[in-house]
Structures are given as C-alpha cells and as structure tokens.
Structure 1
Amino acid sequence: MFDVKERQRVRDQLLASAEEDPGIVGAAITGSDALGAADRWSDIDLAFSVHGRLDEALERWTARIYQDFAAVHHWDLPSGNAVYRVFLLPGWLEVDIAFTPESEFGPLGPAWRTVFGQTSQPSPGQSSDHQHLAGLAWHHALHARVCIERRRWWQAEYWISAVRDHVLTLACLRLGHPASHAKGTHLLPQELTTPLEKTLVRSLDEAELRRALEAATASLATELAHTAPALATRLRPMLTELTSPD
C-alpha cells in the first residue's frame, strides 16, 4: 500500500503540472485534505478549472497520469457539466480529479482549498430531491418483496440493503451531513442508527429476509415522518401491507 510521503509527492507533482498546463487555469485541493482531516488512508482529491474543451483536457491528463504515474485503471463519474475522473495508481493510491468548466470552478462545500486560479461565486445550495430518494426507497422495498416471493434470495438481499442505504442518505441530508457514499453516517445519532442494525441481512433464509425487509420498511417510514410527513402518512399503511403475510 502507498504511504503518506508518496501520496504527498504525487499530489504536489500533479499540482505543479497543472500550473504548467495552459489549459488548466485553476486548481484546488478538495476532500479531507482540504479540511486538514486527511489520515493514513486518504486518497488524493483535486479539482481543475478547464479553459477550453473538457474532453481534450481529460484526454491529455489521462495520458499524462498513465505515463508519469503508471496508472492501472480509471473511470468517470459525471456531475453536471463536470467530470470526476478516478484513477488507480500502484500501491492502491486513488486519485480523484474533478475536471470543471472554467465558468463553474468553485467550492460546492467546505472541503475546498484553492491552490491557484479564480473561483466562481458559489451558487445557492439547491435542496436535494428528497422525493426522488423516497421514491427509490419504496421502489426497492417493493422489489425486495417481489424477489422474496420469486425465491431470488440474493436479489432480495440487494434491494433490502438498498432501502437501508437510502434511509441513511435521507437522514444525512436532513441533519446536514455529507450524504454521498455514506460519508456522513458516522455522524448520525445512535438513536437513529441502532434500529437500522435490524435491517442487516444475516442469512439468505426466507424468514430472515422477510424480517430484515420489515425492519427496513419500518425505518423508512420513521425517516419519512421527519423528511416528508405527508408522504409518510400515505405510505405507512402500504409499507405495512408490503411486509404482511398474504
């Protein structure tokens, strides 16, 4: 595994290369390092302000990272007009670079430290689409029940776990914690997370799957009572029906 000195060397070299690239007009350190909270296992998180075509910058920088750092693999996570390109380097060092149009380069939250370049004024925060998340949650609960009836045990487990994931995301959003990829779940109060332990599937036995699904739908109804009370009132009897014997 990589060590902290190697991570620092790679990060500094990437930033130095960005300053020398006329197509990169700004750079920032993001993630835990921007907050002074990086630890032994943190990856490298950067954001680049791109002057010109984003695809050309992506192609140029991908070639550079493979050549200079012997990258093993990469993949993309689009976000609006930006593209987060995620690289895997030897030693399991992950490098995440957000390639952002120049006009949109700026902090989306507190985890940001500008290294060079001009940042745009942050846009007013948009409220997260709780209705969308709630819809995904009830959809997953329904499909978990269907999979149990079809005796598709692994698929049922997948959907039950997905219900729990969306309950955690809704709770993080409600309490102002980071919501993506469970980054804020350790900040949730114990009285909220303890009941969710019952949603963990302990085996692929049918009775166990039904028990976990019932716990997941109960947790969903409880969270929706805080997040979307009117929807919770409408959904609660249907969620009860979903986990009741026919």
Structure 2
Amino acid sequence: MFTPTGRARLREELIAAARCDDDVVGAALVGSAATGREDAWSDIDLVLQIARDVDPDTVAARWTERLYERGAVDHLDVIAGGVLYRVFLLASTLQVDLSFWPEGTFRGTEPGFELLFGTPQPATTPKDPDTGHLIGMGWLHALHARSAIARSRPWQAVMMLDQLRDQVLALACARHGLNPHHGREADRLAEPLLDALGKARAGAVNGAELARSHRALLEASPTKSPGTIRPWRPAWPPRCASWQPSPSTDPRPHLIANAGLRDLDRFSGREPGRSRHSGGEAGEHGQQQQGTGLVQRGVVVAALG
C-alpha cells in the first residue's frame, strides 16, 4: 500500500521531469490535489501540455517507460475529446493519471485546475449529463434484468440490476446538480432515495429475491406526488435533503418505470397484477389503474423530481 509521503515524492519527481522535458511546455494538477480534498486514498492526476510540433503519442510512450521504471505494473488508455489519458497502476496500488494535451487544447475542464507552468487556453465547464442516454440505459437494463430472471440466469440478472441502480443514481445526481461521474457525489443524495435503493438490493441470488429487487428498484420512491419530472438544472445546492417535483412533459422515465414489470409476479410469489402498495389492478401496460401507479412510484421518476 502506498503512503501519502511516497505519493507526494513521486508527484514531485513527475513535475520535475515535466519541467525538464523539452516536449512538455505546460503542466497542471487536477483532481483532489488541486481542490484541497486530497486524502490517504487519492491518486495523482497530472496534465501535460505537449509542444505544437511534437506528436503526443511519442511523448506518451517515453513517459510510459518512465512510469514502469518507477513501479508501474499495468496501464489503461482512455481517449476523451481527442486527448489521451493514460492511467497507470503501480505495484504499491497507487493510481497515476497522465493526460497528454496538444498545445492548443491545454485548458482547465473542471473546477480543480492548478497550473504549474505553461499557458493554458480559456477554461471550459463540464458538459451537462446526457440524461436521455441515462434514461435509455435504465430501461434497457430493466428489460434485460426481467428476461434474465425469467430465463433463470441469476448472475446476469444481478449484473443488470446493479447497472439499473447505477443509472438511477446517476440520474439522481444530475437532477440535483451533483457530479454523476463514477458515483463521485452519490453519497450526497437525499437519504430517502439512498435508503430506498439500499433496500432494493437483492439479499440472495434466487428468482424470487431478484424479482423483488427488480420491482423495488422500479417502484420504491418516497414521493407520493404525480409522475412529473424536473428538467436538468446545473446550479442546484450541493446537498439536497429532499426533492420537490415540478411539471414536465418528458415521458421517458415512464419507460424505465414500466420496463419489465409484467410476468415477474410468479417469481416473487405475489398475486399477478396486484401491487402491495395500493391494491390496484394492473392495466394493459403493467401500470396500476388505482392508487399511486407504477410511474408515480418509480425510483427514476423520484430521482428526476
């Protein structure tokens, strides 16, 4: 296990190497070290500005050799916005993220950007989350969870349910102006939603429990209001103790709330077509005709407002 002292030492070595590299004309720290949130588990995030007439891949290859000389055991490449992010795993389990930016694109793209040297371009703000994509992935995972349960493929169902929950969390973060990427601020969501999602986790890998988990993910919601959703607004307070719905005509969360509820009652041991909440009868599309209705009780509807 790496230590904060060892991490700081390696970071300073990398910064010194960047200053001595003729092909590197700028550098910056990003992530927790640049925002004052660094703790014992933080990694190293170093952004490098590559000279205009130099191939960033050539520089990346040279820096890759340097990292392996310093204890790297593997690395992963991520390309975003035409920029190479090379993520290294060291034998000490320290993660080192190096990104190689062509000179004209070097800039801050998030609140934490500590310039070390060089001349960056004007900073940009992160793009709003693509809620349409999150919603689409939500109903897709809900449908595949249903079919996996029906086909007696419990571990596939577990994976689909986990990914459905991930989409719900990401939508909730987007709804409240929190960072949805990799669950970074999911723990700041309202306790009722987090409690509902916690209870929706399957306690066993069998058909009945997986069906219960599937239904709970789609139904469990602290809101009793109509199935309205709130559009994305990026300037929400940092901590939302509750959410208040506002009208919207966007019907897409209904797709998630209704995805795959039919035909699962026989796996959960419940009377077909009847909700444990309202006692209403299920209609043609699996929605209740009485009571609050599946759409109104959907976690995703609550997440969006």
Same fold by TM-score, threshold 0.5 exceeded? Answer: yes
Question: Is the aligned partner of 1:82 residue 2:103?
Answer: no
Aligned to 1:190: 191
Matches within 5 A, 1:1-246: 1-51=1-51, 52-67=54-69, 69-123=70-124, 125-218=126-219, 225-227=229-231, 229-233=250-254, 236-238=257-259, 240-241=261-262, 243-244=264-265
Length, aligned pairs only:
244
Distance, in Å, in 2 between the alignment partners of 1:242 and 1:174 is 31
Contact 2:142/2:256 (CA < 8 Å) preserved in 1? no
Counterpart code for 1:82: V
Distance, in Å, in 1 between the alignment partners of 2:137 and 2:110 is 25
Moved over 6 A (4+): none
Distance, in Å, in 2 between the alignment partners of 1:238 and 1:41 is 38
Deviation at 1:42, TM superposition (A): 1.1
Distance, in Å, in 1 between the alignment partners of 2:230 and 2:190 is 14
What is the CA deviation profile of residues 126-150 of structure 1, one whole-angstrom value per residue up to 9, with x for unaligned ones? Answer: 3321111111111011001111111
Q: Which has the larger radius of gyration?
A: 2
Task: Provide the secondary structure at the position in 2 that maps to 1:226.
Answer: coil
Q: Which moved more, 1:233-242 or 1:109-118?
A: 233-242
Task: Provide the secondary structure at the position in 2 that maps to 1:106.
Answer: coil
Deviation at 1:89, TM superposition (A): 1.5
Aligned to 2:299: none
Q: 1:224 to 1:101 in 2, by over 3 A?
A: farther
Deviation at 1:60, TM superposition (A): 1.0
Distance, in Å, in 2 between the alignment partners of 1:133 and 1:242 is 25
Q: Over the residues paired in the alignment, what is the CA RMSD in angstroms? A: 2.2
Q: 1:93 to 1:235 in 2, by over 3 A?
A: closer
Task: Provide the secondary structure at the position in 1 that maps to 2:204.
Answer: coil
Deviation at 1:110, TM superposition (A): 1.0
Contact 1:81/1:101 (CA < 8 Å) preserved in 2? no
- Consecutive unaligned residues of structure 1, counting only runs of 5 or more, are none
Contact 1:29/1:45 (CA < 8 Å) preserved in 2? yes
Contact 1:224/1:231 (CA < 8 Å) preserved in 2? no
Counterpart code for 1:60: R
Distance, in Å, in 2 between the alignment partners of 1:239 and 1:104 is 45
TM-score normalised per structure 1: 0.91
TM-score normalised per structure 2: 0.74
Q: 1:233 to 1:89 in 2, by over 3 A?
A: closer
Contact 1:224/1:232 (CA < 8 Å) preserved in 2? no
- Consecutive unaligned residues of structure 2, counting only runs of 5 or more, are 232-247, 267-271, 273-305
Distance, in Å, in 1 between the alignment partners of 2:175 and 2:263 is 26
Contact 2:129/2:174 (CA < 8 Å) preserved in 1? yes
Counterpart code for 1:166: Q
Task: Provide the secondary structure at the position in 1 that maps to 2:72.
Answer: coil
